[in-house]
Structure 1
C-alpha cells in the first residue's frame, strides 16, 4: 500500500517547543526568543532596492511555454494570471483562514499538530534548524480537514471543510496544467512524456498539501523573521498572498528581491523535486517572509508533488544526470535531517 504524504512525515518527530506558536494577542514587545541577528542567518536583514520583479505570465498566452521556460530558468518563480481559479473561492479561503487564526490561542491549540504529525495548527516545520523562532503561525491540511476542524468548531466545521476541499481540488487541477506546461518548457514532447520522464507510472497521480499562513503585526519587524529562508520540497508551489508585502526571494548577485502581491494573480515557484527533474536547469527558489509592523499578512500555499513512493530523477534526455534517483518519501526524510543541504547530498 502506497505511503501518503502525511505518513511520510511521521518519522520526523518534533519537540513541542518547535510546534506551539506564540500567543500573539498578548505580546506587546518582541521576545528574545524571536529576536534575529545577522549572526543567526548571514545577511538576513539585507535587502536590495525594489528594482527587479518576477515575470507575469498569462496561462492562456500563445507564448506561455517560452515565457515559463525563461521565468523558470532566471527566477524559478512567476506571477500567474488568467489561471482559472475563481477569485470568489480564493477570497472565501482567505476569509476562513482569517477566521481560524483569529481564534483564541487555547482554542487553536485544540487542533495542534502532533509531534509526529504533518497536519493541524503549529509553527513551520523548519523551525528546529534555526536558533531563533519565527513570527508565524500555520495550519496544514492534507486531504480532509474535518478532524481538526471539528476541534475548532464542533458545530460549525462543515463550511470550512467544504471550502478547503474545493480549494485543494481546484489547485490540484491547476498544478497539473502548470506541470505539463513546465515539461513542455523542458522540451518534453506530449507523446513522449511518460517515456521521457524517469519515474513510476503513478507520477501523474499527485500528492498535495494546503498550508494556511498567518504573520501577525510585529512590534519590531526589523529584528524578526516571519518565515526563515528555505526552499520548498515538492515539485511546485502555488501561493495566494493577501494585500500585505513580505515575501522575498534570493537571487545570486542581487540579494533579496520583494515579491509584492498582484491582485488576481497567483505566485508559482519551483520546488526541490522540479530542480532534480530539470537536472538543475530550473532553480529551486530560496525564499523568506519578513513581518510587518502595522499589517497582518495572510497567505495560502498549495504544495504539489507526486505520490510519495514515486521515483524522482532527472529527465532521461539529460545524458549526464546531476542527481541520483530518490523517492519523495526518502527525500522528505533527507530534508528533515539536512534542510538545504539535502539536494547537495543527492548530487552525483
Structure 2
C-alpha cells in the first residue's frame, strides 16, 4: 500500500519553505498559556477523588493523576518505544502510511487538519485503532518489536451540555529537542449519537448541542478546526 505524503516525514536537512511559519502575530497567540504546575493533581486513591475530578472538569478540562496503578517501568518502556518508532528511517515509516480509507485515523502520517493551514506542521504521528481490523494490522508493520495527564474532549463537553471544559491543547516547537506525546482516546462506537444528558438540561440550562456521532465530530473538526463545536450548536 503506497500513500504519497507531501514534504513528509520531517527528515530534511535544511528548512523548506513548506515548513517556514513566518507569519504576523494573531489573536490566538495572545491567549494565556497554562503553566503545568497549576494543573490540578488528583490522587485516585484519595477519599475526595471523585469530587476533585468533577471540579477539575468544570474549571480546567484537564487534570493530572497519581496512584493510577500503572507501573512506572511500563510507562518508561512506552516512552522508549515511541522514540524508537519516530527515529526509524523514512522509508520504514512510510510503509505504514495512512491510507485514504482510514480517514486519517490509522497508520503513519500528518494530522488530518494540516490541510487547513497554509504551511506544513512540524509534526508527525502514528496511530492505531484497537479494533483488530486490517487497517490496524497495516499500521503495526512499522512498530519496533522489542505522572499522566487527562484531557477532556468535545464529546464529554457535549454530553455535559457545556458544563465540563474541553481545553484548547496547543504545543510549541522546541528548537533544541524533540517532543513526543502518547494519546489514548476513549470514545463510543462511531454510529452512536451523543447529546446532552437529561440531568444536564433544565430551564436555566437549555440544550445547546444537537445529537452527533463520533464521525460527525471528526468531520466538523476537519472542516472547522477550533470552530467545530459552533457548527453543531442548536
Give the TM-score range, shorter chain. 0.7 to 0.9
Who is 1:271 aligned against? 153
Cα deviation digits, residues 101-147 of structure 1 (max 9, x gap): 11111111111111332211111111111112111111011125543
Who is 1:335 aligned against? 221
Secondary structure class of the residue paired with 1:321: coil
Secondary structure class of the residue paired with 1:79: strand
Is 1:35 the counterpart of 2:20 in the alignment? yes
**Structure 1 residue 270 displacement after superposition:** 0.6
Who is 2:169 aligned against? 287
**Structure 1 residue 289 displacement after superposition:** 0.9
Asked if structure 2 preserves the Cα contact closer than 8 Å seen for 1:16 and 1:115, the reply is: no
Q: CA 1:49–1:122 in 2, change beyond 3 Å: closer, same or farther?
A: closer
Secondary structure class of the residue paired with 1:96: helix
CA RMSD of aligned residues (A): 2.5
Tell me the distance in 1 between the aligned counterparts of 2:87 and 2:54: 40
Q: CA 1:48–1:88 in 2, change beyond 3 Å: closer, same or farther?
A: closer
**Number of equivalences:** 222
Q: CA 1:15–1:53 in 2, change beyond 3 Å: closer, same or farther?
A: farther
Tell me the distance in 2 between the aligned counterparts of 1:40 and 1:48: 15
Asked if structure 1 preserves the Cα contact closer than 8 Å seen for 2:192 and 2:214, the reply is: yes
Q: CA 1:109–1:267 in 2, change beyond 3 Å: closer, same or farther?
A: same
**Structure 1 residue 36 displacement after superposition:** 2.2
**Structure 1 residue 86 displacement after superposition:** 1.6
Secondary structure class of the residue paired with 2:45: coil
Is 1:346 the counterpart of 2:232 in the alignment? yes
Asked if structure 1 preserves the Cα contact closer than 8 Å seen for 2:43 and 2:67, the reply is: yes
Structure 2 unaligned spans of 5+: none
**Structure 1 residue 27 displacement after superposition:** 2.1
Who is 2:109 aligned against? 122
> Which has the larger share of strand?
1
Is 1:62 the counterpart of 2:47 in the alignment? yes
Who is 2:139 aligned against? 148
Who is 1:94 aligned against? 79
Who is 1:173 aligned against? none
**Structure 1 residue 342 displacement after superposition:** 2.1
Asked if structure 2 preserves the Cα contact closer than 8 Å seen for 1:37 and 1:44, the reply is: no
Who is 1:302 aligned against? 184
Tell me the distance in 2 between the aligned counterparts of 1:132 and 1:40: 15
Q: CA 1:331–1:50 in 2, change beyond 3 Å: closer, same or farther?
A: closer
Asked if structure 2 preserves the Cα contact closer than 8 Å seen for 1:111 and 1:148, the reply is: yes
Who is 2:90 aligned against? 105
